Structure 1
Amino acid sequence: MKLWVKIKQFIKNYTHLKYIKVSLGIALICFYPCLKIIYWSFESAFLGEFGISQEIYSRPLFSSTYQIAWLSVYAIWPATFLWLIISLVIPLVIIFFRYPNFKQKEDLKLLSKEEYIKSRMLGKITDISNYFFETAIIPFLVFTLGALLFIGVGHIFGYAQKKGSALAHELLDAYVSQGICLDKITSSQFNCYTITGVDENVYLIDNSDTHLVFLRKSETEEKAVELRIIEKEKDKSYEIIRSYKSDP
């Protein structure tokens, strides 16, 4: 109960207005890069389902900083065990350095030897428990909040990856089996694209400043597709044509 009261008091103090302002400021600063990393995880899974890996095609939408940050998510899993150990050891270390030398009280001198030993041990246990609860609040909150944050971010990234992969799989299956180019993200169109001077009846995946990425039907195998990545030439325009229909 004493620990719970201290936690409630700590939370009450933390909800002071100035702490709320600081927390909101930090959240806003971190929101934009986190949002970009989450979208990058969705996009990487989406393009990866088409066979477009980071080694093949470097997307200019995100800088290497965000890519490194996303890869770091997989690298820090082992560090969580170290973080857990540190969170548990901190209270013990603080107790070790702060724990006072027990002094014999005057009233204990009047007790028998057996009663004296029992009273002294009870006093030690009481003092140790008090010091433990006093020093465990901050490590406990650090561990709990960190765990919730880590688990939440991991689930968000995992959810974004699953959604990107599922969407790409659906679009790829429709193009392979039916020859249609579904547009589930922004509209309900299904017609394919023609890129003048490049190819026709293709499924355009990405049109960036530097590359054209699209799928085309294979000329050698039935119901097979080819992935094509064309680096754009300078001073050359590419006309992309698509006719619109709402029903296949």
Structure 2
Amino acid sequence: MTVSEVIAESAPVYPRVLLKLSGEALMGDQGFGLHPPTVNRIALEVKRAHERGIELCLVIGGGNIFRGLSASAQGMDRAQADYMGMLATVMNALGMQSALEGLGIHTRVQSAIPMDTVCEPYIRRRAMRHLEKGRVVIFAAGTGNPYFTTDTAATLRAMEMSCNAIFKGTSVDGIYDSDPKLNPSAQRYDRISYDEVLARNLKVMDASAIALARDNTLPIVVFSLRQEGAMTDVLYGRGRFTVVGP
């Protein structure tokens, strides 16, 4: 290792981050539910970062189990459907907790909807203390309110936890001007502004989450979770990713 590599390895660009995962990221090639090998692979990425002293918290969606917006479109009351979606995120959080603790990583799940028999209620100061003690905190049940997505919940929790960035793990290595799976000539952005994301309707996160991040100058880093070690590389400013920022 060169001197510059040693310095880079000892000084992460983002020492405290919130990792945002979609529920679909946990289902692998299945059409529904949790795929344990996929969950374990993602947990291993979190472990690699955690072992380097990165303080980590997570927000996981629930779309692999239940999607409130889709149910609402089929006639279900929107608020009721959203509450059901929040419960799905708790199931995913518990699944990820199990995978992480199987790797020896101490975790805490905090839910915005109190359910004391399975996890802690969300208490900001307690969550901060968990991070300071080296525990991974998984925030479940969104904001606890209907009509808010887990993208917005992730941005809110990242600000409350004083995170340096939101890491959005996807199936591609950044943000493209069109779908790279459909267009081989799609161009990847190294960096793009919040306003450009909104104006181009690039679907990185929902508009409320992007606007909230913009108003608080919180970077959003989009990278591929499918590449082994990618998350750790991005934490140190290496690899392929896109930064949404000022």
Bin of the TM-score, shorter chain as denominator length: under 0.3
TM-score, scaled to structure 1: 0.20
Bigger share in strand: 2
Higher RCO, 1 vs 2 (CA within 8 Å, ≥6 residues apart):
2
TM-score by length of 2: 0.20
Report the structure number with the largest CA radius of gyration.
Answer: 1
